[in-house]
Structure 1
Amino acid sequence: MSFHRPNLCQNENTSVFNVLHGLAQNRFVIFCRKFYYLRNIDIFLGRKISKMNNLIPFEGVSQKLIEDFPYEVIWFDETGQIVYANELFFKRLGYSKKDISNLSIFELNPTVTIEEWREHWHSVEKQGTINFKDTHKRKDGKLYEVEVYAQFFSNNGKSFISALVNEITESSFYRNLLGHTERLTNVGGWKLNLQDGSLIVTEEALKLFDTEDRDDLLPGNIVHRFKDSKQYQELLKGVMRKAKAFDEILETNDQPTRYIRSAGQAILKGDKIFKIIGAYQDVTDQQERQNALRLYKQILDNAEDLVYVYNREGELLHYSNSVARVLGFDKEELDDFNIFHLDQNITKEWWNEHMDEIAEKKVLRFEWMISRKDGTKFQADITANHIRFEGQDLNCAIIRDITERKKRESELFNAFEEIKSLKQLLEQENEYLQTEIKRNINFDNIICKSDSYAKVLEEVEKVAKTDTTVLITGESGTGKELLANSIHENSQRNKRPLIKVNMATLPNELIESELFGHKKGAFTGATADKVGKFTLADEGTIFLDEIGEMPLELQPKLLRVLQEGEFDALGSNKTTQVDVRIIAATNRNLEEMIKDGKFREDLFYRLNVFPIYNIPLRDRKEDIPLLAQYFLEKYASKAGKAFRKLSKKTIDKLMDYPFPGNIRELENLIERAVILEEGTTLFPGSWLPNSNGDVKTDDGLKTFEEIQKDHIIKVLKHTKGRVSGPNGAATILAMKDKTLFAKMKRLGIERQVNFK
């Protein structure tokens, strides 16, 4: 080795063994002591203790003990020069062994002055061994925290300090704990060494300012991160020059802006400022809440209503500015007031009962006479709110002057009295008109003047007041759903919903889940619980349209609901009770289906308690002009056309047509006519059907539904009968699977047909 090795020999009862033995008394080098004995047991076993005073070869000791220490071993002379260091020292600090001659305590710790080193030397000489924590610097300038155990010893007539150094930067439990704490609280720390200008910052501090370069947090750079850079500059100058600590909340230049709490404090050695330690914390959320609270307080203080906050003793804890303005008191007076000063009519007994009632009911609203300072009074509406705050019952009272409102109420009362006498005169007229308008009121969009259909509506009106199950039959397009709506709206269940389910639009495998619900995992794809339509309709009405399409295997479950008012959801072992009125509708002959074994006879009789036959449009021809006019106005408005009426020829043509598609077909015809024709009066045209039901066209096309049926069959042939999936007919037709299934049923297209 190129550096000087002190001659280790017995001198003043000190040897290498004695030095290391002394250092081993320190708690953190107990391991070193054991390591020494284990590594050199052959030496100790071959010698007697009395021989330990003999000269121990330096090469053997350094090779077996010092060089293998898991800590830095450094020897200093009285000038602070490093005279020896082990391998770990060079490895950790980045120096080479040839640098030893130029290394001293002042390179290792640039903050140490000559005077401080002298004091340290004498302290170690006097005490023998001392332990402390410090910051050392590597060759590349990086700083790290260390724990040092220093011992004074003499060798060959010369004195040295032997230091065992343990790095604690990364391994310290407390540093890790601090790092976790910083992340939890959004706090970042920093330390500025004024001796060498070095800055240590934590990872969280870098994250707070979205940077990886610690130089961005140097005083000259960090100040520009804040809107008021001069203010922060003065704070930093104060702590660095005068040791004036600070703790301020500053607004950043970020978008959106943030609020950073910055604190700094000086570390002194004697009267000299040695270091500055500080912290940053993101307090944006807290600051924004405080800003919001200040805003709310400002709104409260400037409200026109009077706002008081009393405690149970009646002390006035807070009041809005309007209290002083409206009542005429000075704020100095109000600050000493209680409820009994403001209203001398209130007794302590009444106030205690009032507070008890507020605590129980949480909110009270009543009217009261409020007295001003000058003795005048005004009538007020008071809303008293209970607030539990810091263990106290508080009464937050909001008081509104209702003098003008009471005046208007008096005027209205007089006006009502004047018209009250007219009410009796109108009652007779109302009674006469009631019969005429009743149909419109009770049946909403059902338009009719024919006697034949009036009988149907009479049946609806009679059964609506009961909870009887209703079965509505009739051809497709006659408006069975409108009758179901009318029954519900005129029943005692009209405050609850009318739930509608069209059996024809649901695939068979989903009908049970749709009606009765299911539990998560009941079948493939049931990823969550589903509430069924019967549950949604509880205490209301459910309308089962196209009841003839209900699968035979599900009909017993519906029968159970009709008989017992209960069902089990799919995958559930719990029975659900419901109170539901059922209205069913169909355009099929259920009695024929019973004969064919496709519909249960017992279910039919349970549904057919009150049958209503919805007559076709051809049996109520008097209603065709009314309905046609209604649809004309409806679609003319939508299309932005000027149609106002139908010509007599048009009405005659419509009256001659049998309308196999009923009201739905009439509506479609009028909508088509509005699109094709122009003017204010709708005249006959190519849109009108022939008397046999075929639509008049120049090219002899079929009816619209027949065209739809042919086209769907054509597409199904193309997909070889596939309905669903990316290559299915529903995708090609830009329709949902359920909608296509329903349309196929309505048009009589069977999936069993060979489309290949």
Structure 2
Amino acid sequence: MQQEGLEIKDWLVETLPYEVLWMNERGKVVYANHKFCKRLGYEKSAITKLSIFEINPTLTKEGWKKHWDFVQKNKVHRFKETHKNKKDKYYEVEVFARYFSNMRNNLICAIINDISESSFYQKLMDNTQTIAHVGGWELNLQDGSIVSTSEALSIFDLKETEFLTPPHIIHRFKESEHLKTLMANAIRKGIAYDVVLETNGSPLKFIRCVTKPVLKGDTIYKLIGVYQDVTEQQRKENSLQLFKEVINNAEDIIYVIKKDGTLLDYSTSALTQLGYDRKELEDTTIFELDPAVTPEWWQNHFEEIVAKGSVRFEWLTMRKNGTKFPVEITANHLSYNQEDYNCAIIRDVSERKARDLKLYEALEEIKSLKDRLESENEYLQEEINSKINFSNIICRSEAYAKVLQLVDQVAPTDTTVLITGESGTGKELLASAIHNTSLRKERPLIKINCATLPKELIESELFGHKKGAFTGAVADKVGKFALADGGTLFLDEIGEMPIDLQPKLLRVLQEGEFDELGGTKTIKVNVRIVAATNRHLEEMIKEGSFREDLYYRLNVFPIHNIPLRARKEDIPILAQYFLEKYSAKAGKAFKRLSKKTIEALLAYNFPGNIRELENLIERGVIIESGTTLNPGSWLPKPTNFKAADNFKSFETMQRDYIVDVLNYTNWRVSGTKGAARILNMNAKTLFAKMKRLGIEKEVRLKK
């Protein structure tokens, strides 16, 4: 077991990422790990024949004795030293020495880290600051303290670091207000800057000022920056002789132009590319070189480059022979001896424009091919003026637009609405549209499907219950009426509500109050009811499964949601909408429906209405592939739909609906509360239609 423990210790020492060395009191090497042997270039068997004096030749026996005594007394010692390898090359190290005993032998264990590279870079950075005249600083915005390098102080001939703080340093520059603005933006908005500014006093200097904000989260807590003396460099950059050397060796055309438009200097390339000789360009102006440049344009252009420093734009430049070629011009502001100049670099981009033209032609060809492919679908060639009503209802047919008009009329009121229609026609969407355009839209729309809940749970869902009200009521439950207070409650499939619960619903409609199951307090609510059903409630009244008084409370403003077969104009746009929806979900590339697919959909009567259409398109997306959805096995077989016996003719439905509206207005036809206003018809037109349909007041009495 002891042997196993020693093996583990040896393994740990050998795998350390540092050099490890053990020495006795005489300085002889007792042990060294593999990393130390490799760094010095000795085999492990040879390293134990060395002493510390061969590894550190600068160390004397007296020095080792002092070191041994110090470590023995203090137990640990951290220091930097220089070591020598087998090839007599020196390198710097950082040593952590610890005194310990091993099997009654007193030893020093040294953990050694090679820092020659980091030391080199530190020295290099220190020397670089002096050589490059770069001084760094850091300003703590929390307490206003500042630290800096000695070179930063030297640049400004300062002795105290506090004179580098913003209130002091800005006054050392001629453009103090500009620097003040830059510093303020860095402190308050976190905007870095890098500018060269001229100092006050003598000797005059140009100092590059670079500042970068440091953030913690959204808080700017300090600034770090550098100052660099670039006086010599700036003077060279401001020398016209330098520009002369540059422009004469440039392939691009380079002009140096005075504010009045006189050509001060130019590159040799201006002669070769434009066809002029030197005599022709002497004392000429930009207006003579390019007639497209007017004095007014030039003045505005010059002011712009002075303000911005540099402006890039495209132009057509004229040769001496009158031909033109496209160029890209970069106009730069130069200042020399307190006079402004425009240094314009003009690059011939004829080849690039030719490449762009070829690319454009290729793209046009691709576009043409794409248009030809899309032209195979006649339905997509036509402009589809589809509109989305109430955010989520797609409609193009006039028949369905009339249904939406009723929604628009009743939505601003608090009137109870009964939506009838076949299953799958989107009655819930109409209910959402009524709520979302009502004055209650800021409050919730609560939905409950009376057909999906067991009879014993509907009452609890609607009105809530107290803990212990019935078996399984382990906690209080808030009902849907309480949740919908101030908003709208949508009762879907109202025909499925149990007959024994209908009186309690009627009470809420009449009095705006109800009792929780197991509760002792009557709760008052302000809820608008929108109900929907696909059943014939009148027949249910006759059968005794639906209360007549509840029906009339719900049927205040009836809206009949027409089936999809009565609004076939909407089938293509609805199908396209579902295609895009399910293509995205399935990761497919469908973009359109083929003409044959649309024809097949139009030929089908959709007994399941919009829900069936949606399911068909989803099935087709899963089965088919490509960018165009073609007909396939997913499509239902065409059927010759025959109206059921209980379907009415359009005239009969019109007649019944007008009678319902007249009953609602107490048979008032004209005026602000008349049926004509609700039907959005002229009163005379309504009277004529009533006469044609045989609607008389006696109809109400018979009903």
Task: Indicate the TM-score class for this superposition, using the shorter chain for normalisation.
Answer: 0.3 to 0.5
| Structure 2 length-normalised TM | 0.38
| Structure 1 length-normalised TM | 0.35
